[in-house]
A and B are shown apart, each in its own frame.
Chain A
């Protein structure tokens, strides 16, 4: 069987989705493709099935919070400083056939961050996105399982956010026990 020649993922994605590719970045030999959030599943599916690309495996999904620094400004041309939203989710995809990786990145806004789910493209995205929803507080629309993954179901807040207060668990004394218990509905008998 003849293997079709490898295509450049950036130009292929630009040809297919001209308006959806917002930005392209190279760093240490890794290519990052920033796409429009609403069209993420389409782009991922295109990269997965198109001949010459065949990114057949989802290696990792990771989220980053740009909280204390500037984000949401006008893009000033500095490659590493392209940050239109507070949160970014990166899909690291791998093409076994052509032995190369690609990062597809989407940004989400600070208020009520929402992204479409990639579970329709890869079932592997299920837990990886659930982890992000739990730890970063990004809602994945259409995700089949919206429960928390790592933290307890009655937990408040999203620990991996950069503004999540680092502290300790309040010690329960008789004067504040009722107050603490109110926040832990599942921990009672």
Chain B
């Protein structure tokens, strides 16, 4: 009786598992014979930073290979964009990488500006730089907290989120929204900075460097942290390039490539800052780079805030064929009413051609490919997102390391599943 029950449960288990044959060629031959174990990690594992399923092939505790399974957060954003006019599509881009929505807005806006050949006034560019660098800080703070908590350092999360709350408070000041701000728009930004913004950001810039020192005091020389991070998840520079890795994950391997320096946008070429580089390409170097990026962002922010005080003028392009007029103009100008009506109902036509534009987000290169139709809606919008690329590179980063290192490796490349699945 007991044997029969056991036999049935094995039978049922087999049925539930599906066939191994569909994994032939993707996992090693040893998995086919049962010599190595196939183990699911996720989709609801706390350290996969979202809904990511990894099918791990394990030889004891060592990872032979891993097959990432994504798509759990696929929301069809690219498809939805095809049904909206260019301006109205912007709020959807916030929802991709929900930890740095400003970068997505920027990637999309830059692409639309390139497609339309639209100008951005200087003040608009400065406000954009401030937003992007604040977004970089906010995103890195979430990364720092979650990465540390994954590796067992509980308290960093609370400190990191305390500072992040201040950045989100500033975003709320600017746009009325803490996270999904939709503040950066084609042609500039939505509105000028409010009066209380400058004192707030100045106070933040005064306080924040000491906080970064605190994080470093907790982690950088911590022997447990170093043990977990050094020599783990090593990526050689040529491997990183072949797999298309960008951002801190690429710079951790010592490749000096930052789009803010190499292909500057929004006036980044006029700011004085350094690009931190790693040497070993391991988890620890990627950690050091992001910590140093906090300090570089502070440098840029200090310069940008100083400029914001002197540079006056429009914060958004005054090309009324593409940018709606100010509310205050509507009472006085018939033309403004016409433009307002036209732009908020129909939108504007964009050429029937294609462009690709990329910016440096906290995670790496966000590229935006837009193919217009000649009318007010795009034919195709495609986002090349850093998390997508980095998850596809997880197998080469993790094979040969221990199962416990997987958590460190996932954390160190800073993935966001909304960004990956779109």
Contacts and interface: CB of A to CB of B under 8 A. Distances in A.
Given A149-B70, A160-B79, A99 B356 contact: no
Interface string B65-107: 0000011001010110011000000000000000000000000
A60 B356 contact: yes
A27 B353 contact: yes
Contact of A145 (B26, B241, B354, B356): B26
B356 A30 contact: yes
B355 interface: yes
Nearest to A132: B382
A161 B243 CA distance: 27
Contacts of A66: 379
A150 B74 contact: yes
Interface stretch (B173-181, B281-289, B384-392): B384-392
B401 interface: no
Contacts of A99: 262-263
B194 interface: no
Main secondary structure of the interface of B (DSSP, over half): mixed
B71 A152 contact: yes
B56 interface: no
A63 B379 CA distance: 11
B114 A151 contact: no
A88 to B, nearest CB: 9
A122 interface: yes
A114 interface: no
A59 B384 contact: yes
A57 B244 contact: yes
Given A30-B356, A124-B392, A150 B421 contact: yes
A41 interface: no
Interface string A117-128: 000001110111
Contacts of B83: 166
Contacts of A148: 71
Interface residues of A, number: 42
Contacts of A123: 242-243, 396
Contacts of A62: 356, 369, 380, 382, 384
Nearest to B67: A145
B352 interface: yes
B234 interface: no
A145 B114 CA distance: 35
A64 B380 contact: yes
A101 B382 CA distance: 17
A122 B384 contact: no
A66 B114 CA distance: 21
Best-surrounded residue of A60, A92, A127 (most CB of chain B within 10 A): A60
A122 B255 CA distance: 18
A151 B71 contact: yes
A22 B355 CA distance: 20
B351 interface: yes
B21 interface: no
A124 B239 CA distance: 10
Nearest to A144: B25
B11 interface: no
Interface in A45-60: 56-60
B20 to A, nearest CB: 14
B344 to A, nearest CB: 24
B367 interface: yes
B367 A27 contact: no
Interface in B225-243: 241-243
A141 to B, nearest CB: 15
A181 B129 CA distance: 51
A137 interface: no
Q: Which of B74, B263, B373 has the most CB of A within 10 A?
A: B74
A189 B71 CA distance: 20
Nearest to B263: A99
A101 B356 contact: yes
A66 B384 CA distance: 20
Contacts of B355: 27-28, 30
Interface in A114-168: 122-124, 126-128, 131, 144-145, 147-152, 159-160, 162, 166
25 contacts: A28-B353, A30-B355, A59-B244, A59-B367, A60-B356, A62-B382, A64-B354, A65-B379, A65-B380, A80-B351, A80-B352, A80-B353, A90-B356, A90-B369, A96-B241, A96-B255, A99-B262, A103-B356, A124-B242, A127-B388, A127-B392, A145-B26, A151-B71, A160-B79, A166-B83
Given A28-B114, A131-B388, A148-B71, 19 more contacts: A27-B351, A27-B354, A27-B355, A28-B115, A59-B356, A60-B356, A60-B369, A60-B382, A69-B373, A92-B356, A96-B255, A96-B257, A103-B354, A122-B242, A127-B388, A144-B26, A145-B25, A147-B22, A149-B70
